[in-house]
């Protein structure tokens, strides 16, 4: 149940219904004034039960959406039960229809209007349920759109970041290419310096050998040749 008020109305209806459902059998077994009294009492209790159901319908309109389906089902079942009891009373008490109209006057018209009003209230309750469902669907769509927009923004940021990383990689590759060229030039220079060093060593060795030969010749001519 959706509220304490609905609980109270439900208990009142059950009490009235338990009293009403015994009256058709009693009316069938009674006669004269006793039957008329039962008819009047039935009509009074039936009217009270209708008022209780109206109060329950008022509670239905303000109940949470999750409770409305079960509450609406109960109300339809209660009205069906009341209608069946009224038919049973007519079958059990011949002349119930004329007595009923005599006692209540315009109550039959009121009951018809009341049933029409009840039908309209049920339709309004269903319309409110549909409106709530539509609002929930609209909110869900709005949340989905926000999530989609956020996802699109994240994707755009990622693409921009990847673009920046690509530029950094291109610059790094260019620097590596320049470094490779510099290394190649350095190797060429080192090889040239190495060849020059070998050449210089050879020349120095030749010069030393020539100086040794000259020194040997001088020593020979000075000390050994006479």
Residue 68 near residue 130 (C-beta atoms within 8 A): no
User: Ramachandran region of residue 93, left (φ > 0), alpha (ψ -120 to 50) or beta?
Assistant: beta
Q: Are 42 and 89 in contact (CB under 8 A)?
A: yes
DSSP, collapsed to helix, strand or coil, labels residue 31 as coil
pTM above 0.75, yes or no: no
CA torsion sign for 86, 87, 92, 94 is: positive
Q: Digits of tens for pLDDT over the chain (226 positions)?
A: 456 677 788 888 888 888 888 888 787 777 888 888 888 888 888 888 888 888 888 877 777 777 777 778 888 888 888 888 888 888 876 655 444 444 344 444 334 544 555 556 556 666 666 676 777 777 888 888 889 888 888 988 899 889 888 888 888 888 888 888 888 888 889 998 989 999 999 999 999 999 999 998 888 888 876 5
- Could you give the C-alpha distances from 34 to 26, 30, 91, 102, 137, in angstroms and in order? 9, 6, 16, 16, 59
For 70-127, how does the pLDDT look when each residue is reduced to its tens digit (9 = 90+)? 778 888 888 888 888 888 888 876 655 444 444 344 444 334 544 555 556 556 666 6
CB 49, CB 82: distance < 8 Å: yes
Axis crossing angle, helix 65-92 with helix 32-62, rounded to the nearest 10? 170
Going through the chain in order, the beta strands assigned E by DSSP cover none
Burial of 134 (0-12, 13-18, 19+ CB in 10 A): exposed
């Amino acid at each position: 149940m959706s509220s304490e008020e609905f609980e109270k109305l439900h208990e009142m209806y059950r009490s009235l219904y338990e009293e009403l459902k015994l009256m058709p059998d009693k009316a069938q077994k009674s006669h004269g004034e006793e039957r008329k009294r039962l008819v009047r009492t039935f009509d009074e209790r039936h009217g009270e039960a209708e008022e209780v159901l109206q109060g329950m319908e008022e509670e239905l309109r303000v109940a949470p959406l999750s409770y409305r389906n079960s509450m609406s089902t109960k109300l339809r079942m209660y009205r069906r039960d009341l209608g069946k009891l009224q038919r049973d009373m007519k079958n059990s008490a011949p002349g119930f229809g004329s007595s009923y109209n005599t006692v209540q006057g315009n109550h039959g018209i009121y009951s018809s209007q009341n049933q029409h009003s009840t039908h309209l209230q049920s339709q309004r309750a269903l319309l409110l349920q549909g409106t709530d469902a539509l609002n929930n669907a609209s909110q869900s769509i709005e949340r989905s759109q926000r999530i989609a927009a956020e996802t699109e923004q994240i994707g755009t940021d990622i693409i921009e970041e990847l673009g920046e990383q690509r530029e950094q990689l291109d610059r790094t590759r260019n620097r590596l290419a320049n470094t490779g060229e510099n290394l190649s030039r350095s190797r060429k220079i080192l090889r040239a310096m190495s060849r020059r060093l070998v050449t210089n060593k050879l020349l120095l060795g030749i010069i030393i050998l020539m100086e040794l030969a000259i020194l040997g010749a001088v020593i020979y001519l000075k000390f050994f040749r006479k």
